[in-house]
Structure 1
């Protein structure tokens, strides 16, 4: 496995399911907490390991929102965004669709919408120029915040003069239990009409019915998590036939107790059914992981060699909303790296 770890570390990668605030490293969280000492979040990076130990999904959301509350100024937003890209560059992530929940900053945090957009766009351009990391945005509705947040997310995603250049998709996150997907249909309809792709979370902590709702009511082109899809053979067949990718985040599913044991993770059944699977880290520092580690987990669960891992990496490229030229370039880079590695 040592050689595979080294192969993974150098493998050019794309990531499709990773959260903006949830990617804040302990160093950055501690720095933000020190800036805002009225917060309950620890200022010691080592103490954050205990703080980020979750009893269940509801507890994870509570802790996550306490970190959201540290993002109070445009300068905080810019710092976080660029530093997330720096961590990605260290892992040879070449392209990422970063899920941002802007309503948490504009409604909950009181940051001016234009200043927020300027901050993420400035960081995006700097990340590409200085780090070689191409970032695109998914704006997602925090399901627990209800329709007011949905309205605000849609406004920020579709209003001329606000909608950022890097925005490619529209999502739905947060708790699934007690938050039915169909209520968000009008917002997804309008986002799709405005040219955005649909990428809601579904079937992480609820059954396959939530995934069907995401497909039928929200026009989902990819499914965030989709962990319970394996409970419904008809759903698996539908996902495979229509090449609707699942954004799978193994360690996250264990950390939030969506899956009880890694060896029982349904990723094996997903792949066996012919479903397109992509590997992602979700909220990596909070779950004590990163994308390289998630590839190593996938290699063990799926018994993959270097070529199998390269195929997983190309799955993410193909499932991304990168333009066709960019996809071809990144896929070719993955192939060239793999060929060179195997010829050693």
Structure 2
């Protein structure tokens, strides 16, 4: 089989994909029309152009604007269903999706509306596509400690079995102040999966591990600036969820040739491949795996990335074993 066939055949697990960042232009357009919203591009072509980002802050601005289209339970159900069934087209078997819960709470949308909607969409999508999804509610760090506590309070008050972890994203502010919130989440049985080391330096990753009890790092590309941190991550096998196209689209990395993914793998880090915000960045998991081959990785290294995602996940052990066996057959 050729490389394209190999990537298509590879069973995949995705650990860093945002539900709201998976809102395809057709879904967004339908929600804009449904609610009669203004100040959005008038067609799908315009929406795709709207998703051209100058830098990371501009991406956040567009992201927050786009989620204002999510108002009622049916909106969240449609978004979840459309996003999850889209994952199935890339032979994705399992995903842990971030949900920007505070982005909805701050607009006056009740957490029960969000959870009832996404759970309905998740269950329908699993029935129709076979993709198993679990949720990671998060909050933007730049909105402060109140946002962190409100988000966790909402999660714990309306706890669903499909919620497996707690996260922090947004503008990459210092992580230390959020330590007590994450300790409370961990005590409640949630895993800690913060973003860190995306737009800021390795100090954010150190803090995520030390202060937030991070079990997995979102993005984390700045770790290569600190050999001591690389050694710690390698020894403790703390996974890093890397999203190459995202880094290019938000201008965090200038060119494919400069992306640290190959160096991270050479350093022995437990790295996974992810799409982050696929519709906004014009990518998907298939493209990310093809990009890894284009960076010079061989098929065995790419298959190892797929296995890493299983190992780094909070997947049901039986499903995890099944996916690992399928990957092994392709190596």
Normalized against structure 1, the TM-score is what? 0.93
- 2:195 aligned partner: 201
Does 2:97 match 1:98? yes
Does 2:325 match 1:332? yes
Candidates 179, 185, 189, aligned match of 2:183: 189
- Taking the TM superposition and a 5 Å limit, the aligned residue runs for 1:102-181 are 102-108=101-107, 110-159=108-157, 162-176=158-172, 179-181=173-175
- 1:218 aligned partner: 212
- Taking the TM superposition and a 5 Å limit, the aligned residue runs for 1:251-290 are 251-290=245-284
5+ residue gaps, structure 2, are none
Aligned length: 331
Q: Is the 8 A contact 2:79 2:118 kept in 1?
A: no
1:107 Cα deviation after fit: 2.6
5+ residue gaps, structure 1, are 340-344
- Taking the TM superposition and a 5 Å limit, the aligned residue runs for 1:11-50 are 11-50=10-49
User: For residues 33 and 68 of structure 1, what CA distance do their matches in structure 2 show?
Assistant: 10
1:300 Cα deviation after fit: 1.7
- Taking the TM superposition and a 5 Å limit, the aligned residue runs for 1:234-313 are 234-305=228-299, 307-313=300-306
1:38 Cα deviation after fit: 2.8
The alpha-carbon distance between structure 1 residues 242 and 151, as it changes in their structure 2 partners (threshold 3 A), is same
1:28 Cα deviation after fit: 0.8
1:165 Cα deviation after fit: 1.5
- 1:85 aligned partner: 84
Q: Which moved more, 1:325-334 or 1:74-83?
A: 325-334
User: For residues 181 and 171 of structure 1, what CA distance do their matches in structure 2 show?
Assistant: 11
Q: Is the 8 A contact 1:34 1:43 kept in 2?
A: no
* Cα RMSD, aligned residues only: 1.3
- Structure 1 segments of 4+ aligned residues over 4 angstroms from their partners: none
Q: Is the 8 A contact 2:262 2:297 kept in 1?
A: no
1:113 Cα deviation after fit: 2.1
1:153 Cα deviation after fit: 1.2
User: For residues 45 and 234 of structure 2, what CA distance do their matches in structure 1 show?
Assistant: 43
The alpha-carbon distance between structure 1 residues 43 and 91, as it changes in their structure 2 partners (threshold 3 A), is farther
Normalized against structure 2, the TM-score is what? 0.97
Secondary structure at the aligned position of 2:69 is classed as coil
Q: Is the 8 A contact 1:33 1:43 kept in 2?
A: no
For residues 35-77 of structure 1, the C-alpha deviation after alignment (integer angstroms, 9 at most, x for no partner) is 2333322241111221011111010000111111111111111
User: For residues 66 and 128 of structure 1, what CA distance do their matches in structure 2 show?
Assistant: 29
1:6 Cα deviation after fit: 2.0
User: For residues 66 and 107 of structure 1, what CA distance do their matches in structure 2 show?
Assistant: 13
Does 2:312 match 1:314? no
User: For residues 57 and 168 of structure 1, what CA distance do their matches in structure 2 show?
Assistant: 27
User: For residues 297 and 91 of structure 2, what CA distance do their matches in structure 1 show?
Assistant: 22
